[in-house]
Amino acid sequence: MPAVTAVVTGGAGGLGAAIARRLHADGHAVAIADVDGTGARELATALDPGGGTARGYTADVADREALAGLLDAVLADFGPVRVLVNNAARTQAKPLFEITPEELDAVMAVNFTGTFHACQVFGTHMAEQGYGRIVNVASLAGQNGGTATGGHYASSKGAVMSATKVFARELAARGVTVNAVSPGPQDSPMVRDIVGEQNLGAFQRTIPVGRLGDPAFVADVVALLASPGAHSVTGACWDINGGLHMR
């Protein structure tokens, strides 16, 4: 039986790489897309040197035509796409009233507009097949307004959660589910850079469970939502934040 093809945007490093590794370990053929095409190809080669079940692609999700081109390329290499993980994101920690219009546009173009367009492009393809799993990576910042990240990042992730519901409602009858995961601070280089190693202990004490999250576990949750058995879950946002936001 051919492997189920999954596309992971922003997959060259960080959480995206963890997700790509997990999906590949589960038997998916993984298309790793990133503006860092070299990094995406290096990870793909590490997963499968022969390129039969993992390939890297250069793609800027802020460009809708690039997303359409990505779909065409993956179709040519692997066949129909069954899973899409919208992980690509741009993060900037900056005081709210110092965010420039250009910075706002740049963050929104990747985090929200890129996710929205990817849901359109790949969601249409999946709906035509009558099956698909889309998982959008949101953020605790989109739920609580952000603490360590910029207001433009928090706003973009709040918009991602709303878009998840919109596409879930539209695509449900076509066999396509659309869900989000909302991680809190993870034990990652990005979080450590934003918080600062000297502040890490105090920061962790503000988290009810007392520790940063594990990107590998977030990848586990994404894999579960991307599985065929998750057919009854759509329009949901699964929180992974150590108790920082409860609802």
Which of the following is catalytic: 78, 116, 122, 153? 153
Report strand pairing: 132-137 vs 81-86. Answer: parallel
Strands (E), 132-247: 132-137, 176-183, 237-240
Residue 205, sorted as left (phi over 0), alpha (psi -120 to 50) or beta, turns out to be alpha
Q: Any catalytic annotation for residue 153?
A: yes
Per the CB < 8 A criterion, the answer to whether 237 and 138 are in contact is yes
Backbone angles phi, psi at 239, to 5 degrees: -85, 135
Cβ neighbours for 46, distance < 8 A, ≥ 6 positions apart: none
Cite the beta strand spans of the chain per DSSP E. Answer: 5-9, 29-34, 54-58, 81-86, 132-137, 176-183, 237-240
Give me 84's structure tokens.
């899409």
Q: Which residues are paired to 181 by β-bridges?
A: 137, 238
The single-letter code of the amino acid at 34 is D
Q: Which residues are catalytic?
A: 153
